[in-house]
Structure 1
């Protein structure tokens, strides 16, 4: 049982470290770039996210 808990703690620490260092966000969707959702939702979302995150 102790070994299992140690392993779970190690996996959690590795997972937390990789999440903390994430710097890129990508959005994938099945619609093409000319779809109205791209201009109406996804592009404004990306612009607002860049503004809030300081362009990162």
Structure 2
């Protein structure tokens, strides 16, 4: 059985006025979007790692 390992990373980007946006990318090359909260971004990253796609 072929098994790939996915590692998603959350990076923060300052938006001014103390606000940040958080983007999620995976080691497989997939961009998982931008989020307004870190917890949402981390959740998306974990879901992608579990699903593997």
Q: Which has the higher strand share?
A: 2
User: Hey, which of these two has a bigger chunk of helix by percent?
Assistant: 1
RCO higher in 1 or 2 (8 Å CA, sep ≥ 6)? 2
User: What is the TM-score when the length of structure 2 is the normalising length?
Assistant: 0.29
TM-score when normalising by structure 1: 0.28
